[in-house]
Amino acid sequence: MAKIKASKGAPYARILGVGGYRPTRVVPNEVILEKIDSSDEWIRSRSGIATRHWASPEETVTAMSVEAAGKAIADAGIDPEQIGAVVVSTVSHFKQTPAVATEIADKVGAGKPAAFDISAGCAGFGYGLTLAKGMIVEGSAEYVLVIGVERLSDLTDLEDRATAFLFGDGAGAVIVGPSDEPRIGPTVWGSEGDKSETIKQTVPWNDYHVGDVSRLPLDSEGKIKFPAITQEGQAVFRWAVFEMAKVAQRALDAAGISAEDLDVFIPHQANMRIIDSMVKTLKLPEHVTVARDIETTGNTSAASIPLAMERLLATGQAKSGDTALIIGFGAGLVFAATVVTLP
């Protein structure tokens, strides 16, 4: 039996740069209320959302990703050609193939890196970060571009009172590279597939080819709707509130730190009440900065954590070298949490 030479990369990995892109159009709750029977007060009290960004036709998944990636590359101070892999997490790239990561890699000038998409919903950024860390330590890439990007306005049913106000668009990106010290902790991740029906697409794409209109969703005028994201709000809320705080605590334990050691908490921006509940359950000290980007950005799924991270650093609410706990959770149901040092 031949002996295979082991690959060798860096001892550890870290986030070296971060970038974000929010579409230019800001959509207040008043626009959402044109289609549903609700109120601005109800939306704010239930979700914490006041506004969100919706992309124009020109602000495609690719275009937003390239903008965010360019900022992350500049922030990291590397040449795009040094990027050995591009990992894109998204559920709103509507071509089955090729992966949008390949197009993004070309447009940012990354040369010929490995490039692929992943579908892990709102936990997608954490999944991508974990894959990037593995590539760097394993030695298959020196620098990895990880992007979370969504155009969820394309998958929003504006007549669905439970979800019409939730979703926004945007892209967040980080460069992950080598480190001499641990700067990305162990990942606590997993799935609960028995709850997969609680967040899902309304109908599969192939239903649009069967010719049976009775299987397709219709709007109030009887016209066929585009597929949308739907969820069982109360079930998802209970799961996130009671289970994700446990996952976050496990990530702290895996990193060998306590809540007192944290500087920043960056949860997936799903709902302000979920965020506040997690802060209380984890007993985070008052000195810990908590990301609440959802108020003006909405739920951007895979993009929410890097977008929130970028805003905290840009506004000075967090600083380079801070210790941050990040956790994403969503459709699947899937989750991923880890402790990182901010770039």
Q: Token pair 């709103």 is at which residue?
A: 92
Q: Is 53 among the residues known to form the active site?
A: no
Tokens for 304, please give them.
């929410």
Q: Which of 53, 93, 271, 299 is catalytic?
A: 299
Report d(CA 285, CA 30) in Å as an integer.
36
- Distances in whole angstroms, Cα of residue 240 to Cα of each of 20, 244, 269, 278, 330: 25, 5, 12, 9, 8
What residues pair up with 191 in beta bridges, in sequence order?
Answer: 334
Q: Is 29 among the residues known to form the active site?
A: no
Q: Which of 29, 53, 93, 268 is catalytic?
A: 268
Q: Is 93 among the residues known to form the active site?
A: no
H or E segment at 307?
helix 304-315
Q: Which of 53, 122, 209, 271 is catalytic?
A: 122
Residues near 276 by Cβ (< 8 Å), separated by ≥ 6? none
End-to-end C-alpha distance for the chain, whole angstroms: 44
Phi, psi dihedral angles at 292 (to 5 degrees): -130, 45
Answer whether 199's CB lies under 8 Å from 333's CB. Answer: yes
Answer whether 119's CB lies under 8 Å from 155's CB. Answer: no
Rounded to the nearest 10 degrees, how much is the dihedral formed by the CA atoms of 175, 80, 102, 122?
20
What residues are labeled active site? 122, 268, 299
